Amino acid sequence: MKVAIRADASVQIGSGHVMRCLTLADDLRERGAEVRFITRAHPGGAQALIAKRGYACHLLPAPQPGGSVMGDLAHSAWLGVPWEDDLARSAAVLADWSPQWLVVDHYGLDWRWEQPLRGQVPRILAIDDLADRRHDCDLLLDQNYYSDLDQRYAALVPPHCTCLLGPGYALLRPEFTVAGQALHRGTGPVRRVLLFMGGMDQDNATSIALRGLQDFAKAGIAIDVVLGAGAPHRDQVRTLCESTPNTRLHVQVDNMAELMASADLAIGACGSATWERCFLGLPTIAIVLADNQRRSAHDLAAAGYIVNLGEVAQVTPEKVAQAVAALTADDAGRVAMSRRALGLARREPRTVADLIYEGTR
């Protein structure tokens, strides 16, 4: 089976879309599929990471510097070019290879891009978080938690589309399953905090949160800070880590499950890593870094799965310190949050890869 994946990373977009697609690609490759990526050469793009993971990568040209992209989607600018141009170049790649499935994970694309590609590929999986545009797809994946999840895509997908909704379908690497099997969440004090605000962290929320953690680090709590290799504020974060006791910076890690399993508390963005933390029952203080995180963060906090500090622009080191102090003092509250998160992340019996293979038969 051949599977093409269209996803981008950039300083603006972040790396989460490509990272979750790589997780799906690994699962498909393990089952014998040949997977290739189509990605654009944005600043902060993921082409090197995709190649390092062993996948062929068809690189679309970088956007013109200073160019403006007009479109009617909320995230049209993330594409970097008019969608018609992206469609033409992607169609040429697909026509030369003829895959059975196309996976598209991009907020700047919708049914107008997907529908014409039916001539090059029989089946399409759309990965979405926003429910703000129509799709022409056979499967739709939204791995997020929302209070109205079952209704979000009712008018946005064709009648034959199967919707895979909720954290039970989250794209998790095998290392999380292994870590989950050996996991024993205790009821003791907080000894280790994990700080991960996404691979890029364009807003430098890592530095804000780390300043709020400095007194806890001085009191003996270990701090693990994680960033991607392309993070624009990496040098500043490194300097801050070096001046903060009991603090270690990890860059472009491949042991995130281990770091999450060993932590007692996390501070993080409300993106894809949310479901990794839930799967390992890690109590979390979340900060909203993007529009697509706002609603999910609100609903998760309202149901008691996380603590939500809100928009990054309103978050200060003092607010972080207050939230950490409250949770570190509330052992029973952390245990309850951990158990709720573990229940939320309970896996569906069939994975996304299972359903792709079933749809090919």
Cβ partners under 8 Å of residue 153, min gap 6: 128, 131, 135, 140, 142, 163, 165
Question: What are the percentages of helix, strand and coil residues in the chain, rounded to 5?
Answer: 40, 20, 40
Residues 157 and 214 in one domain: no
Distance CA 98, CA 93 (A): 9
Residues 191 and 128 occupy one common structural domain: no
Residues 137 and 263 in one domain: no
Same domain, yes or no: 47 and 153: yes
The answer to whether 17 is a known catalytic residue is yes
Annotated catalytic residue within 17, 42, 58, 75: 17
- Pair (184, 331) in one structural domain: yes
Q: What is the CATH number of the domain that holds 39?
A: 3.40.50.11190
Residues 130 and 228 in one domain: no
- pLDDT tens string, the chain, 361 residues long: the values are 999 999 999 988 989 999 999 999 999 999 999 999 999 999 999 999 999 999 999 999 999 876 666 689 999 999 999 999 999 999 999 999 999 999 999 999 999 999 999 999 999 999 999 999 999 999 999 999 998 888 999 999 999 999 999 999 999 999 998 998 888 787 789 999 999 999 999 999 999 999 999 999 999 999 999 999 989 999 999 999 999 999 999 999 999 999 999 999 999 999 889 999 999 999 999 999 988 899 999 999 999 999 999 999 999 999 999 999 999 999 999 999 999 999 998 899 999 999 999 987 7
Do 108 and 158 reside in the same domain of the chain? yes
| Same domain (yes/no): 24, 45 | yes
Give the helix ranges, DSSP H, for the chain: 16-30, 47-52, 83-97, 111-114, 174-181, 205-218, 234-242, 256-262, 273-279, 291-302, 317-328, 331-344, 352-360
As annotated, the binding site for substrate includes: 173, 276
Look at the chain and report how many structural domains it folds into.
2
Is 308 found in the same domain as 207?
yes
What span, in angstroms and rounded, lies between the C-alpha atoms of 31 and 317?
46
What range does the domain containing 36 cover? 2-170+348-360
- In this structure, are 18 and 65 located in the same domain? yes
